[in-house]
Amino acid sequence: MVERAPGEDSAAEQSAPFPDTALPDELVGYRGPAACQIAGITYRQLDYWARTKLVGPSIRGAAGSGSQRLYSFKDVLVLKVVKRLLDTGVSLHNIRVAVEHLRHRGVQDLAKITLFSDGTTVYECTSAEEVVDLLQGGQGVFGIAVSGAMREITGTIHEFPAERADGGEHEEPVNDELSRRRRDRRTG
């Protein structure tokens, strides 16, 4: 069960921790093998989670033999969070509840969340005050900062092949002057 941590009403609005240019556009997706490598899971896990509707591809689902699922950046982020929750011993039932809650959030909203669990319940905290309130109960918990998982993914995701769902050409964001000049020279 995902619960809001005590003191949730005092959460201050935070500025976006990631510039929009660091995140792929919502039509850009990653095929199954790339999504597995980025999230650190096996293809068997990916397939099982898609078939059981834990985390499925939001851009393009499999539609018969030979078709390729296409996972969005948010899908890959949720896959990574699920993997971390599983690694810490949270039950698949509680992970399903947490994922259902996260599914309704935008990527920028997810970056503001830290998930905590005592092994039974998953708690969502969006401010330092909520974390302190949760920890004051004396219960042993572990936390997963979604923004940390997001930082890991944004640091490596550009190394993997991506494709656009609309068939257009996917152009990687350029983060430095030298790369920008090389790209401009290639495209004329």
Query: Tens digits of per-residue pLDDT, 145-158?
Result: 888 899 999 888 88
Q: Is residue 137 part of a domain?
A: no
In this model, does residue 188 exceed pLDDT 80? no
pLDDT of residue 177: 65
Q: Is residue 177 part of a domain?
A: yes
Where residue 19 falls among pLDDT bands split at 50, 70, 90? very low
In this model, does residue 91 exceed pLDDT 80? yes
Q: Is residue 182 part of a domain?
A: yes
Q: Is residue 122 part of a domain?
A: no
Q: What's the CATH code of the domain at 41?
A: 1.10.1660.10
Q: Is residue 15 part of a domain?
A: no
User: Biggest alpha carbon distance in the chain?
Assistant: 62
Q: Is residue 32 part of a domain?
A: yes
What mean pLDDT, rounded, does the chain reach? Answer: 79
pLDDT of residue 24: 66
Q: Considering only 36-40, 90-94, 140-144, which range has the smallest mean pLDDT?
A: 140-144
What is d(CA 187, CA 182) in angstroms, rounded to the nearest whole number? 9
Amino acid letter for position 171: E
Q: Is residue 183 part of a domain?
A: yes
Q: Is residue 39 part of a domain?
A: yes
Total domains in the fold of the chain: 1
Contact, 62 vs 68, CB < 8 A?
yes
Where residue 3 falls among pLDDT bands split at 50, 70, 90? low
pLDDT of residue 184: 67
Give the structural domain span for 55.
25-105+147-187
Q: Position of tokens 């290639």?
A: 186
pLDDT of residue 70: 94
pLDDT of residue 72: 93
pLDDT of residue 109: 85
pTM passes above 0.75: no
Where residue 171 falls among pLDDT bands split at 50, 70, 90? low
In this model, does residue 130 exceed pLDDT 80? yes
Q: Position of tokens 């669990």?
A: 117
Contact, 99 vs 55, CB < 8 A?
yes
